[in-house]
Amino acid sequence: MAGTDYKLDTEVKGKKTLLYMYGTILDQKPEKDFWTGEPVEMECIYPKQVRDIVQEIKTDEVELHINSNGGSVFASISIGNYLKSTGKKITSVIDGIAASGAAIIAMCGEEVKMNSNSQMMIHNAATFGFGNAKTLRKIADDLEEIDKSVLNTFKARFKGTDEELAELLDGETFMSADKALELGFCDEIITEKKEETNDDEEVKEDENIEDKITNENKFLNGFVNLINGGIK
């Protein structure tokens, strides 16, 4: 939530708690604005915040609703690992988008569900760099090591080889729910249910129509006979 509390929304439904992870993933609670000294107004997710709120959840099942473009890779990995360690049954549900670090968190679910119009995006680690050639080479080497951690997060679910997964990460790949299901990143697609027509009602309606037509035909025949009887 925006404001100084940065409290994630929760909702209890029966035997499970819905936990909404909407916003940017950060390493820690945002500092005050440098220029104004006022609290930073933004929706955000960070490890301590997640730990604090999950420890308050009384149900054994948690439905984790996600809509986030990601953020810190290390915060994302730690949040996902923490959620898996709680002993609670975690189900991840992607409401809008689970991109980058948010996709990493989504993988903590025993089941991952996506709304039919939602998206998932995975990619390798990225950063900004400044320095001489040696410094920049080290940054590149470090990123490659971090990429191995990212790949390991997704490989347990991915239906393919490590090389194929690496290509998806290299390509900063966006996936529809259908594509994510095909590749193994989600288990179920949530679709809107159409109203089902009762077959018995259809049969009854057809019978009513037939009766109506029969009655109208009888009336017309009777009317024609009456007219014919009056014509000599």
Q: Could you report the per-residue pLDDT of 143-195, keeping only the tens digit for each?
A: 999 999 999 999 999 999 999 999 999 999 999 999 999 999 999 999 977 66
Percent of the chain, pLDDT > 90?
71
Name which of 140, 139, 50 is nearest 101 in CA terms: 50
Residue with the two structure tokens 């095909």? 182
Q: What is the DSSP string of 134-190?
A: HHHHHHHHHHHHHHHHHHHHHHTT-SS-HHHHHHHHHTTEEEEHHHHHHHTS-SEEE
Cβ neighbors of 80 (< 8 A, separation 6 or more) are 104, 105, 107, 108, 153
| 3-state class (DSSP) for residue 199 | helix
Question: Is residue 224 pLDDT above 50, yes or no?
Answer: no
Tell me what pLDDT residue 232 has.
Answer: 38
DSSP state of 92: E
Tell me what pLDDT residue 166 has.
Answer: 96
pLDDT bucket at 3, cuts 50 / 70 / 90: very low
DSSP state of 109: S
Tell me what pLDDT residue 128 has.
Answer: 87
Residue with the two structure tokens 């090591």? 145
- Give the rounded distance of the alpha carbon of 216 from its chain centre: 56
Name which of 76, 71, 73, 72 is nearest 92 in CA terms: 76
For 31-83, the pLDDT digits (tens) are 776 667 777 777 899 999 999 999 999 999 999 999 999 999 999 999 999 99
Tell me what pLDDT residue 96 has.
Answer: 97
Tell me what pLDDT residue 193 has.
Answer: 75
Which residues partner with 61 through β-bridges? Answer: 16, 89
- Mean pLDDT over residues 209-229, rounded? 55
C-alpha dihedral sign at 118, 157, 144, 45: positive
Task: Give the separation between CA 200 and CA 24, rounded to whole angstroms.
Answer: 51
Question: Is residue 230 pLDDT above 60, yes or no?
Answer: no
Question: Is residue 228 pLDDT above 80, yes or no?
Answer: no
- Cα–Cα distances in Å, from 108 out to 27, 83, 87? 18, 7, 12
128 phi, psi to nearest 5 deg: -100, 150
Give the CB-side neighbour count of residue 126, counting CA atoms within 13 A. 11
Task: Give the separation between CA 125 and CA 123, rounded to whole angstroms.
Answer: 7
Question: Is residue 229 pLDDT above 90, yes or no?
Answer: no
